[in-house]
Amino acid sequence: MQHRPLIGVIACERQVEGETAQAVKHRYLEAVERFADAVPVIIPSNQPEANAAEIVTRLDAILLTGSGSNIEPRRYGSATPPQAPIDRGRDGFGAALIHAAIAAGKPVFGICRGLQEINVALGGSLRDMRSETERVPHHAPSEASLDDTFAFSHPIDVASGSILQRFALSEALTVNSVHYQAIDRLADGLVTNATGPDGVIEAVSALNTAAPVFAVQWHPEWRPEGRPHDLAFWNYLGEAARADYLPAAQLEKNA
């Protein structure tokens, strides 16, 4: 029987029946199983950061999901007041998982908030787009239905020779857009794989890591059937977890 990799999926803090709980939306877990051909394992974020290294040794890859919460600005050296909702447990444990996985040579993948977490953990910063009213919006109106929220989309330009271009097989894609925060200063060691309207960074990958670190700002887990580039994201995650991954292209190594 072929080995199916274990992919750790980080959880978020939520209120359930009046109590604090840990939760992951089913669509992330289902995408890992259906499209990455892997076994999802939920990682609670309400635990000591020192546990991250031990957890990582038992997994084949880490997935940092999207979330409604915002990363606290103090995490990237900003004095800007945080905008609710926040999730301090995920902020801290997510960063610990990223560092532990990179140190152990395990793949790290991120979606939306996950992309932002990777950038912050590696020394980059974010900006909040809600105050940038003159820019192209990257989120549907707050009153939009769930379907309309994820139908909100825009084109992106894919960097030639990037990891994204190599597995998506295109230099122009249309992706959904459901985010209020975005990368401001790109962390050292990361390279841009795609940009959207107003130059917003839409995908990143890492240089000089033993296993791939890759993240996108959109949501490939939202009904990916019929979108080859989103299915390719999950295929790449599965390949990476099996150690059959795409190494950084020479163009990226020299960036």
Residues marked active site are found at 112, 219, 221
Phi, psi of 249 (to 5 degrees): -70, 155
Phi, psi of 111 (to 5 degrees): -130, 125
Phi, psi of 42 (to 5 degrees): -75, 130
Cβ pair 96, 56 in contact under 8 A: no
- CA distances (Å), origin 137, targets 9, 104, 132, 181, 221: 29, 38, 9, 11, 21
Q: Is 222 left (phi over 0), alpha (psi -120 to 50) or beta?
A: beta
Who's near 132: CB < 8 A, 6+ residues apart? none
